[in-house]
Amino acid sequence: MRILDFRLVLALLLTIAVLPISHVFGFEEEERKYYSAENGQELLSVLSTADIDVFEPIILAFQRENPSINIEYVTTGSTELMKAIYVENAQFDLVISSAMDLQTKLANDGFARDYSSEATSSLPDWAVWRDQLFGFTQEPAVMVISKAAFKNVGVPHTRQELIETLRNNPETFAGRVGTYDVRISGLGYLFATQDSRNTESFWRLTEVMGRLDAKLYCCSGGMIADVASGKLALAYNVLGSYAESQLAGTDGLEIIPLDDFVGVMLRTALIPTGAKNASAAGRMIDFLVRLEGHPELSAQTGLPPIQRVAQSTGTVLRPIRLGPGLLVFLDKLRRETFVRSWTSSIEQN
């Protein structure tokens, strides 16, 4: 049944024609909140993968500068967001997602409007694509661990060390490792495919996690919460911004950027072709790409802004660049092959 569900989602993602579908297949909202502006005269509708509690300080700060704009903010998962815009033509003015590859596909396939301004022109070339897709954060993928679980086995700092630690201590980690379900998580699929490009250890690590009955998640937040509660010993490849925000002041946990490499995701925004208030969406994009000038918001949200300097080379950081290269793993055959291999590795029990 799980494979059938995946095939349905895949078909929805990769179909080119926008087909009428029954409401029972409508995209799934997680939360919805309305923000009344001081002198609200217009509405900006936003569909986003960023949790409300994370993004709210940005919304309120934007409204202080734009007191006429009411905002309706709807959250969903990255795959559901893709389905909403690509398949259902859902009406939103601004789309924000952590899944860079799916956002790139939306722009590439004609679902994004052109937009340019002084603010977007100041972005480095690796953070903007075709004046349609705009990066506004740089967020590393990290590992979050329970210190107690690793007390007697040592904390791993590379993927090879993690493989050996998990393999040698099944009694400690069986059922207590969390990772993304790449069949339903757009961000998880992005991180997994990028990991497979960066290291030969990816498939060995996936197999080891599979033998330990890894728990699969759609999102970073749930994984991090389960480490904090003690249900998990570790969560792999969660967003560092969410980890720092959720775990602030929490004892007994540690955020580990692995020493062999750290994938860095750009959170992106685009204006869909069906936007009713593209002008307000553009103003929000200008605000987002200038987050570097609002350090108080980065402190409140944990979202690190785009740094307008050349990306470093010779470091452990592996920034994921915007561009057509992100479409490679969205090819239907290539995606099916990758997911089939991943599923056979992770579902060994």
CA dihedral of residues 333, 337, 340, 345 (deg, nearest 10)? -160
| Burial (Cβ within 10 Å: 0-12, 13-18, ≥19) of residue 289 | buried
**Is there a contact between 190 and 100 (Cβ–Cβ < 8 Å)?**
yes
Global pTM exceeds 0.85: no
What topology does CATH give the domain 2-138+266-321? Answer: D-Maltodextrin-Binding Protein; domain 2 (3.40.190)
CATH topology of domain 139-263+333-346: D-Maltodextrin-Binding Protein; domain 2 (3.40.190)
The tens place of each residue's pLDDT in the chain, 349 residues long, gives 334 344 444 444 444 333 333 333 478 899 999 999 989 899 999 999 999 999 999 999 999 999 999 999 999 988 899 999 999 999 999 999 999 999 999 999 999 999 999 999 999 888 999 999 999 999 999 999 999 999 999 999 999 999 999 999 999 999 999 999 999 998 899 999 999 999 999 999 999 999 999 999 998 989 999 999 999 999 999 998 888 888 877 889 999 999 999 999 999 999 999 999 999 999 999 999 999 999 999 988 889 998 765 454 556 888 888 989 999 999 999 999 999 999 999 987 6
State which amino acid sits at residue 22: S
Structure-block tokens of residue 83:
């389905």
Domain ranges of the chain: 2-138+266-321, 139-263+333-346
What are the DSSP calls for 112-176, one per residue? B-----HHHHTS-GGGEETTTEEEEEEEEEEEEEEGGGGTTT----SHHHHHHHHHH-HHHHTT-
pLDDT per residue over 34-43, tens digit each? 999 989 899 9
**Residue 301 class from Cβ within 10 Å (0-12 exposed, 13-18 middle, 19+ buried)?**
buried
| DSSP character at residue 25 | G
Taking the C-alpha atoms of residue 31 and residue 81, their distance in angstroms, rounded to an integer, is: 13
Chain centroid to CA 312: 22
Greatest Cα-to-Cα distance within the chain, rounded to the nearest angstrom: 62
Taking only the tens place, the pLDDT of each residue in 191-217 is 999 999 999 999 999 999 999 999 999
State how far the alpha carbon of 222 is from the alpha carbons of 51, 243, 263, 348, in Å.
12, 11, 20, 23
Rounded Cα–Cα distance for residues 193 and 325 (Å) = 12
Whether 2-138+266-321 shares its CATH topology with 139-263+333-346 is answered yes
Query: CA-to-CA distance for 40 and 38, rounded, in angstroms?
Result: 6
Measured distance CA(282)–CA(307) in Å, rounded: 20
Residues facing residue 75 across a β-bridge: 31, 48
